[in-house]
Amino acid sequence: LVSGGEDRSVRVWDLNTLAMLASLEQAHLSGIFRVRQLDSGDSFITASRDRTMKVWLSSTWQARRTLAPPHYDGVSDVAVAGKKGCFFSASRDRSIRRWDCKTLESDLQLAHAQGDWLTALALSVSEEVLFSGGKDSIIKVWDGDLHCKDMLQGHRGPISDLLTIDNHLFSASHDRTVRVWKIDHFDT
């Protein structure tokens, strides 16, 4: 298990013994919002308030690369589409970027994707549909080229997190609710 926190560190844990295996102090210049496995376990990515993302090697626990160009505000979430060979990043700068998993280059950016900070991303099981949530309380539905297909409205507070399980999207909000959305019709 790999975790990141407000103290700017990345910690690696053994799930069998719950012992800490490694601590990467000051991995970023500011707090870490998200840690995601990037590929088959060889590397992982961290997203930070410092506006950067870093790719780390799991074999050495060393930073392989800091991704550029950075976002213009904190990177709040990352969604990895491993079958598609890409991943998406969301930022408080209201943009979503698509990145290539092999080259680690951004090939697409959508500015002003939401009306306020982006806070969460999730992919459908097929990885054909991306969902984004933000402080504007709206969930947007995107195709892989970041064309908006729909908007899901119903929360009365900022979106905290998104999760897909099978053909359902779960959205958590500051309005103290979790909503369940049927999403299989977006995958057609």
Q: Convert the pLDDT of each residue in 29-84 to its tens digit.
A: 999 999 999 877 789 999 999 999 999 998 899 999 999 777 999 999 999 999 99
Q: Convert the pLDDT of each residue in 75-128 to its tens digit.
A: 999 999 999 999 999 999 999 999 999 999 999 999 999 999 999 999 999 999
Specify whether the CB–CB gap between 169 and 151 falls below 8 A. no
Spatial distance between the Cα atoms of 163 and 182, rounded to a whole number of angstroms: 12
What does the pLDDT read at residue 119?
Answer: 96
Q: Convert the pLDDT of each residue in 145-185 to its tens digit.
A: 999 999 999 999 999 999 999 999 999 999 999 999 999 99
HSE (CB half, 13 Å, CA atoms) of 125?
Answer: 10
Q: What's the predicted TM-score (pTM) here?
A: 0.93
Spatial distance between the Cα atoms of 129 and 111, rounded to a whole number of angstroms: 18
Residue found by looking up tokens 């195709």 in the block: 143
Spatial distance between the Cα atoms of 113 and 121, rounded to a whole number of angstroms: 12
Contacts of residue 98, defined as CB under 8 A and 6 or more positions apart, other chains included, come to: 86, 87, 88, 106, 107, 108, 109, 144, 146
Specify whether the CB–CB gap between 50 and 76 falls below 8 A. no
Distance set, CA 95 to CA 15, 74, 117 (Å) = 35, 11, 8
